[in-house]
Amino acid sequence: MPDRKDLTAAGIIAGYAADLIVGDPRRAHPVAWFGRAAGAVERGLWADSRARGAVHAGVCAGAAAGAGIALQAATRDRPLARFAVTALATWTVLGGRGLAAEGAEMARLLDAGDVPAARARLSHLCGRDATSLGPDGLARAATESIAENTSDAVVAPLVWGGLAGIPGLLGYRALNTLDAMVGHRTPRHERFGWAAARADDVVNVVPARFSAAAAVLAAPLVGGRPALAWRAWRRDAGRHPSPNAGPVEAAFAGALGVRLGGTNSYAGRAEDRGTLGDGPAPGTADLRRSVRLSRVVGLAALAAAAALARYR
Protein backbone atom coordinates (compact mmCIF):
# COMPACT_ATOMS: atom_id res chain seq x y z
CA MET A 1 0.00 0.00 0.00
CA PRO A 2 1.32 3.52 -0.74
CA ASP A 3 2.58 5.38 2.31
CA ARG A 4 0.54 8.20 3.81
CA LYS A 5 2.59 10.87 2.04
CA ASP A 6 1.49 9.36 -1.27
CA LEU A 7 -2.14 9.46 -0.14
CA THR A 8 -1.85 13.03 1.12
CA ALA A 9 -0.77 14.08 -2.36
CA ALA A 10 -3.52 11.94 -3.86
CA GLY A 11 -6.04 13.54 -1.50
CA ILE A 12 -5.03 17.03 -2.66
CA ILE A 13 -5.43 15.95 -6.29
CA ALA A 14 -8.82 14.38 -5.56
CA GLY A 15 -10.01 17.51 -3.74
CA TYR A 16 -8.92 19.68 -6.67
CA ALA A 17 -10.82 17.39 -9.04
CA ALA A 18 -13.91 17.62 -6.84
CA ASP A 19 -13.79 21.41 -6.95
CA LEU A 20 -13.27 21.32 -10.71
CA ILE A 21 -16.23 18.98 -11.28
CA VAL A 22 -18.66 19.83 -8.48
CA GLY A 23 -17.65 23.28 -7.27
CA ASP A 24 -18.57 24.73 -3.90
CA PRO A 25 -21.23 23.01 -1.76
CA ARG A 26 -24.57 24.70 -2.46
CA ARG A 27 -25.66 24.56 1.17
CA ALA A 28 -23.97 24.40 4.55
CA HIS A 29 -20.56 25.42 3.24
CA PRO A 30 -17.98 24.87 6.01
CA VAL A 31 -16.34 28.22 5.20
CA ALA A 32 -19.70 29.91 5.83
CA TRP A 33 -19.91 28.10 9.17
CA PHE A 34 -16.48 29.40 10.04
CA GLY A 35 -17.49 32.91 9.02
CA ARG A 36 -20.53 32.86 11.28
CA ALA A 37 -18.44 31.57 14.18
CA ALA A 38 -15.76 34.21 13.59
CA GLY A 39 -18.46 36.87 13.47
CA ALA A 40 -19.79 35.72 16.82
CA VAL A 41 -16.30 35.85 18.32
CA GLU A 42 -15.84 39.34 16.87
CA ARG A 43 -19.04 40.57 18.51
CA GLY A 44 -17.72 39.40 21.86
CA LEU A 45 -14.18 40.74 21.45
CA TRP A 46 -14.51 43.86 19.34
CA ALA A 47 -12.83 47.05 20.43
CA ASP A 48 -11.02 49.72 18.46
CA SER A 49 -7.77 47.96 19.29
CA ARG A 50 -5.06 46.10 17.40
CA ALA A 51 -4.48 43.88 20.41
CA ARG A 52 -8.13 42.76 20.50
CA GLY A 53 -8.00 42.15 16.77
CA ALA A 54 -4.88 40.02 17.18
CA VAL A 55 -6.65 37.91 19.78
CA HIS A 56 -9.60 37.51 17.42
CA ALA A 57 -7.37 36.41 14.55
CA GLY A 58 -5.38 34.07 16.78
CA VAL A 59 -8.45 32.41 18.29
CA CYS A 60 -10.26 31.90 14.99
CA ALA A 61 -7.33 30.87 12.79
CA GLY A 62 -5.85 28.84 15.64
CA ALA A 63 -9.09 26.90 16.04
CA ALA A 64 -9.15 26.05 12.33
CA ALA A 65 -5.48 25.02 12.25
CA GLY A 66 -5.96 23.10 15.50
CA ALA A 67 -8.82 21.15 13.96
CA GLY A 68 -6.51 20.32 11.07
CA ILE A 69 -3.79 19.15 13.45
CA ALA A 70 -6.29 16.91 15.24
CA LEU A 71 -7.51 15.41 11.97
CA GLN A 72 -3.95 14.86 10.78
CA ALA A 73 -3.05 13.13 14.05
CA ALA A 74 -6.19 10.98 13.96
CA THR A 75 -5.33 9.73 10.46
CA ARG A 76 -1.59 9.29 11.06
CA ASP A 77 -1.71 5.50 10.72
CA ARG A 78 -4.83 5.29 8.53
CA PRO A 79 -3.76 6.11 4.97
CA LEU A 80 -7.21 5.78 3.40
CA ALA A 81 -8.73 8.02 6.06
CA ARG A 82 -5.89 10.51 5.49
CA PHE A 83 -6.71 10.47 1.77
CA ALA A 84 -10.43 11.04 2.37
CA VAL A 85 -10.00 13.83 4.93
CA THR A 86 -7.35 15.58 2.81
CA ALA A 87 -9.59 15.39 -0.25
CA LEU A 88 -12.56 16.78 1.67
CA ALA A 89 -10.50 19.60 3.19
CA THR A 90 -9.00 20.50 -0.20
CA TRP A 91 -12.42 20.57 -1.85
CA THR A 92 -13.76 22.73 0.97
CA VAL A 93 -11.08 25.41 0.77
CA LEU A 94 -10.72 25.73 -3.02
CA GLY A 95 -12.77 28.14 -5.12
CA GLY A 96 -11.48 27.57 -8.65
CA ARG A 97 -14.68 26.40 -10.31
CA GLY A 98 -16.74 29.16 -8.72
CA LEU A 99 -14.18 31.78 -9.75
CA ALA A 100 -14.20 30.61 -13.37
CA ALA A 101 -18.01 30.50 -13.42
CA GLU A 102 -18.26 34.07 -12.14
CA GLY A 103 -15.79 35.29 -14.76
CA ALA A 104 -17.71 33.55 -17.54
CA GLU A 105 -21.03 34.93 -16.30
CA MET A 106 -19.66 38.48 -16.14
CA ALA A 107 -18.43 38.16 -19.72
CA ARG A 108 -21.82 36.85 -20.83
CA LEU A 109 -23.71 39.73 -19.18
CA LEU A 110 -21.37 42.32 -20.68
CA ASP A 111 -21.64 40.79 -24.15
CA ALA A 112 -25.43 40.92 -23.77
CA GLY A 113 -25.24 44.60 -22.82
CA ASP A 114 -26.86 43.98 -19.44
CA VAL A 115 -24.79 46.47 -17.46
CA PRO A 116 -27.12 46.65 -14.41
CA ALA A 117 -26.95 42.88 -13.98
CA ALA A 118 -23.18 42.93 -14.46
CA ARG A 119 -22.86 45.62 -11.77
CA ALA A 120 -24.84 43.48 -9.37
CA ARG A 121 -22.83 40.40 -10.30
CA LEU A 122 -19.48 42.06 -9.60
CA SER A 123 -20.15 41.74 -5.86
CA HIS A 124 -19.63 37.97 -6.29
CA LEU A 125 -16.01 38.68 -7.23
CA CYS A 126 -14.94 41.71 -5.19
CA GLY A 127 -16.09 44.46 -2.86
CA ARG A 128 -15.62 47.29 -5.35
CA ASP A 129 -18.34 49.93 -5.70
CA ALA A 130 -19.86 49.18 -9.12
CA THR A 131 -22.64 51.78 -9.25
CA SER A 132 -20.75 54.11 -11.58
CA LEU A 133 -18.87 51.49 -13.63
CA GLY A 134 -19.58 51.07 -17.32
CA PRO A 135 -18.77 48.00 -19.46
CA ASP A 136 -15.04 48.78 -19.65
CA GLY A 137 -14.74 49.36 -15.92
CA LEU A 138 -16.66 46.19 -15.15
CA ALA A 139 -14.48 44.11 -17.48
CA ARG A 140 -11.36 45.53 -15.84
CA ALA A 141 -12.66 44.93 -12.33
CA ALA A 142 -13.58 41.33 -13.15
CA THR A 143 -10.24 40.63 -14.84
CA GLU A 144 -8.32 42.02 -11.86
CA SER A 145 -10.44 39.97 -9.47
CA ILE A 146 -9.86 36.79 -11.47
CA ALA A 147 -6.11 37.38 -11.21
CA GLU A 148 -6.05 38.18 -7.49
CA ASN A 149 -8.45 35.41 -6.51
CA THR A 150 -6.53 32.84 -8.54
CA SER A 151 -3.76 33.30 -6.00
CA ASP A 152 -6.00 33.64 -2.93
CA ALA A 153 -8.62 30.97 -3.65
CA VAL A 154 -6.66 28.39 -5.65
CA VAL A 155 -2.88 28.67 -5.51
CA ALA A 156 -2.40 29.59 -1.84
CA PRO A 157 -4.61 26.83 -0.39
CA LEU A 158 -2.83 24.27 -2.57
CA VAL A 159 0.64 25.53 -1.63
CA TRP A 160 -0.17 25.46 2.08
CA GLY A 161 -1.79 22.05 1.73
CA GLY A 162 1.38 20.76 0.12
CA LEU A 163 3.57 22.33 2.79
CA ALA A 164 1.56 21.51 5.91
CA GLY A 165 -1.20 19.08 4.97
CA ILE A 166 -4.65 19.44 6.53
CA PRO A 167 -3.62 22.14 9.07
CA GLY A 168 -2.18 24.18 6.20
CA LEU A 169 -5.36 23.90 4.16
CA LEU A 170 -7.71 24.85 7.01
CA GLY A 171 -5.44 27.41 8.67
CA TYR A 172 -4.80 29.28 5.42
CA ARG A 173 -8.47 29.39 4.50
CA ALA A 174 -9.35 30.68 7.96
CA LEU A 175 -6.85 33.55 7.72
CA ASN A 176 -7.97 34.46 4.22
CA THR A 177 -11.61 34.48 5.34
CA LEU A 178 -10.79 36.66 8.34
CA ASP A 179 -9.00 39.12 6.05
CA ALA A 180 -12.11 39.33 3.87
CA MET A 181 -14.28 39.88 6.96
CA VAL A 182 -12.26 42.38 8.99
CA GLY A 183 -9.14 43.21 6.99
CA HIS A 184 -10.57 46.17 5.07
CA ARG A 185 -9.81 49.70 6.23
CA THR A 186 -13.29 50.63 7.37
CA PRO A 187 -13.82 52.75 10.49
CA ARG A 188 -14.81 49.64 12.45
CA HIS A 189 -11.93 47.48 11.27
CA GLU A 190 -9.07 49.95 10.68
CA ARG A 191 -7.36 48.79 13.87
CA PHE A 192 -9.27 45.65 14.83
CA GLY A 193 -8.60 44.00 11.45
CA TRP A 194 -4.93 44.96 11.28
CA ALA A 195 -3.60 41.62 12.56
CA ALA A 196 -5.76 39.53 10.23
CA ALA A 197 -4.75 41.65 7.24
CA ARG A 198 -1.04 41.48 8.03
CA ALA A 199 -1.16 37.72 8.69
CA ASP A 200 -2.91 37.22 5.37
CA ASP A 201 -0.18 39.26 3.67
CA VAL A 202 2.50 37.04 5.19
CA VAL A 203 0.94 33.69 4.25
CA ASN A 204 0.37 34.87 0.68
CA VAL A 205 3.91 36.05 -0.07
CA VAL A 206 5.06 32.80 -1.68
CA PRO A 207 1.74 31.79 -3.33
CA ALA A 208 1.36 35.21 -4.96
CA ARG A 209 4.81 35.06 -6.51
CA PHE A 210 4.25 31.48 -7.61
CA SER A 211 1.03 32.64 -9.29
CA ALA A 212 2.85 35.48 -11.04
CA ALA A 213 5.64 33.17 -12.24
CA ALA A 214 3.13 30.60 -13.51
CA ALA A 215 1.24 33.34 -15.37
CA VAL A 216 4.48 34.43 -17.03
CA LEU A 217 5.28 30.89 -18.19
CA ALA A 218 1.69 30.22 -19.31
CA ALA A 219 1.33 33.44 -21.31
CA PRO A 220 1.66 31.69 -24.72
CA LEU A 221 -1.36 29.51 -23.88
CA VAL A 222 -3.58 32.62 -23.88
CA GLY A 223 -1.93 34.33 -26.84
CA GLY A 224 0.59 36.32 -24.79
CA ARG A 225 4.35 36.57 -24.49
CA PRO A 226 6.32 35.60 -21.38
CA ALA A 227 8.74 38.50 -21.86
CA LEU A 228 5.91 41.03 -21.67
CA ALA A 229 4.39 39.34 -18.64
CA TRP A 230 7.78 39.29 -16.89
CA ARG A 231 8.38 42.95 -17.69
CA ALA A 232 4.97 43.99 -16.39
CA TRP A 233 5.52 42.03 -13.17
CA ARG A 234 8.95 43.48 -12.46
CA ARG A 235 8.12 47.03 -13.54
CA ASP A 236 4.56 47.53 -12.30
CA ALA A 237 3.90 45.29 -9.28
CA GLY A 238 5.18 47.90 -6.85
CA ARG A 239 2.61 50.43 -8.05
CA HIS A 240 -0.18 48.36 -6.50
CA PRO A 241 -0.88 49.01 -2.80
CA SER A 242 -1.06 45.29 -2.05
CA PRO A 243 2.31 43.50 -1.80
CA ASN A 244 0.73 40.28 -3.09
CA ALA A 245 -2.05 41.33 -5.47
CA GLY A 246 0.44 43.58 -7.27
CA PRO A 247 2.69 40.83 -8.69
CA VAL A 248 -0.25 38.63 -9.72
CA GLU A 249 -2.30 41.35 -11.38
CA ALA A 250 0.74 42.80 -13.13
CA ALA A 251 1.79 39.38 -14.46
CA PHE A 252 -1.75 38.66 -15.66
CA ALA A 253 -1.88 42.08 -17.36
CA GLY A 254 1.37 41.39 -19.18
CA ALA A 255 0.37 37.85 -20.14
CA LEU A 256 -2.96 39.08 -21.54
CA GLY A 257 -1.45 42.16 -23.20
CA VAL A 258 -3.85 44.55 -21.46
CA ARG A 259 -3.71 47.46 -19.05
CA LEU A 260 -5.10 46.93 -15.56
CA GLY A 261 -5.18 49.18 -12.50
CA GLY A 262 -6.44 52.70 -11.94
CA THR A 263 -8.61 54.34 -9.35
CA ASN A 264 -11.19 52.14 -7.63
CA SER A 265 -13.91 53.00 -5.12
CA TYR A 266 -14.54 50.93 -2.00
CA ALA A 267 -17.42 51.98 0.27
CA GLY A 268 -17.06 55.56 -0.93
CA ARG A 269 -13.28 55.60 -0.49
CA ALA A 270 -11.15 56.04 -3.63
CA GLU A 271 -7.94 54.03 -3.93
CA ASP A 272 -5.28 54.38 -6.63
CA ARG A 273 -4.12 50.93 -7.74
CA GLY A 274 -1.48 52.19 -10.18
CA THR A 275 -1.20 51.21 -13.84
CA LEU A 276 -0.27 47.60 -14.55
CA GLY A 277 0.78 46.38 -17.99
CA ASP A 278 0.62 47.94 -21.44
CA GLY A 279 -2.02 47.87 -24.12
CA PRO A 280 -5.76 48.50 -24.19
CA ALA A 281 -8.19 48.12 -21.33
CA PRO A 282 -9.53 44.55 -21.15
CA GLY A 283 -12.74 43.58 -22.90
CA THR A 284 -14.91 40.52 -22.52
CA ALA A 285 -12.62 38.43 -24.73
CA ASP A 286 -9.74 39.28 -22.43
CA LEU A 287 -11.86 38.44 -19.38
CA ARG A 288 -12.47 34.97 -20.84
CA ARG A 289 -8.74 34.63 -21.52
CA SER A 290 -8.05 35.52 -17.90
CA VAL A 291 -10.29 32.63 -16.83
CA ARG A 292 -8.28 30.25 -19.02
CA LEU A 293 -5.03 31.62 -17.60
CA SER A 294 -6.41 31.15 -14.09
CA ARG A 295 -7.10 27.48 -14.78
CA VAL A 296 -3.58 26.89 -16.10
CA VAL A 297 -2.03 28.63 -13.09
CA GLY A 298 -4.20 26.48 -10.82
CA LEU A 299 -2.99 23.30 -12.51
CA ALA A 300 0.62 24.40 -12.02
CA ALA A 301 -0.09 24.96 -8.33
CA LEU A 302 -1.70 21.52 -8.08
CA ALA A 303 1.45 19.89 -9.48
CA ALA A 304 3.61 21.85 -7.02
CA ALA A 305 1.35 20.99 -4.08
CA ALA A 306 1.35 17.28 -4.88
CA ALA A 307 5.14 17.32 -5.15
CA LEU A 308 5.48 19.17 -1.84
CA ALA A 309 3.11 16.75 -0.11
CA ARG A 310 5.05 13.78 -1.45
CA TYR A 311 8.53 14.97 -0.58
CA ARG A 312 8.14 17.30 2.41
| Bridging pattern class, strands 269-276 and 260-266 | antiparallel
- Tens of pLDDT along 83-109? 999 999 999 999 999 999 999 999 999
Residues with Cβ < 8 Å from 242, sequence gap 6 or more? 148, 201
pLDDT at 264 over 80: no
Cβ 258 vs Cβ 285: under 8 Å? no
pLDDT for position 270: 66
- CA–CA distance from 170 to each of 177, 203, 269 (Å)? 11, 13, 32
- Tens of pLDDT along 187-226? 899 999 999 999 999 999 999 999 999 999 999 999 999 9
pLDDT band at 266 (very low <50, low <70, confident <90, very high): low
Higher pLDDT, 59 or 133: 59
Segment 19-36 shows an average pLDDT of 87
Q: List, in sequence order, every beta strand (DSSP E) within 142-258.
A: none
